[in-house]
Amino acid sequence: MIQLLLPLLISGLGGAVEGLLFYDLMNPPVRQTRKTSPDLCGGPVVSGAKTDQMDIFKETILEENSVVLAREDVPLDNRFGLERVVSDHIFTQTAQTSVSFARNRSLEGSVQGKLFTLAETRIRADLSRELGCRIGQEITREIRLRLTAPPQVFAHYHVLWKQDTRRGIYDVVMGRKRIQIPYLVTYGLSHSVESIQEEVSAEKLSSAGV
């Protein structure tokens, strides 16, 4: 009896296995997938997910210029002299590298304050790398100049201390938003010297008894 039942059992098990295999092939296991879509910077963003990602998309430079920070005047009066006048001077000036951002209500309303502060921090770091100086850093320069005035000349010297300025816009991607942040950065410290020489006429010299 047992020998007669074994073929039937084996045959039944084989049919059951075939049935299970057929079911698995027709109904493969379901895997959880996440749809991604590229953001404005080319990286993947998980669909339906909230992210605080902040990236600099690009910088647009609108204007570069230089501004006069300070001016020092040195007059050398040699109108009635017969020899050249020579004068040595030391000038010192301190300036600060700074950046300011233009905010408006519509911009602040579309971006949370914490994210806006993060964007400003990232822009400061980017400008520091690009300009080769740290934002907020103080710069001190000392120069030594030898100024002269020829005979019968009133020489006016102007020492101009200057800083460079750059005005532009940063395009920043915050999560799924792309915003524009205008900025103005002031950096560097340089100087230039201008001179105006006023010659004395012969009439003035004769009237002065020279």
pLDDT tens-digit series, residues 92-130: 999 999 999 987 665 555 566 677 788 889 999 999 999
What CATH code is carried by the domain that includes residue 64? 2.170.15
Asked whether the predicted pLDDT for residue 58 surpasses 60, the reply is yes
In a domain, 126, yes or no: yes
In a domain, 206, yes or no: no
In a domain, 20, yes or no: no
Q: How far apart are CA 206 and CA 202, in angstroms?
A: 6
Task: Give pLDDT, residue 178.
Answer: 84
Closest by CA to 102, choosing from 183, 190, 188, is 183
In a domain, 93, yes or no: yes
Please give the residue range of the domain that contains residue 122. Answer: 39-201
The 10s digit of each residue's pLDDT in 12-45 is 444 443 433 333 334 433 333 222 233 322 333 3
The CA distances from residue 52 to 92, 114, 177, 179, in Å, are 46, 10, 10, 14
DSSP string, 27-94: SPPP-----EEE-TTS-EEETT-----EEEEEEEEEEEEEEEEEEEEEEEEETT-SS-EEEEEEEEEE
Indicate the number of domains in the chain: 1
Please check whether residue 192 is in contact with residue 162, taking contact to mean a CB–CB distance below 8 angstroms. yes
In a domain, 6, yes or no: no
In a domain, 87, yes or no: yes
In Å, how far from its chain's centre is CA 124? 5
Count of all residues that appear for the chain in the document: 210
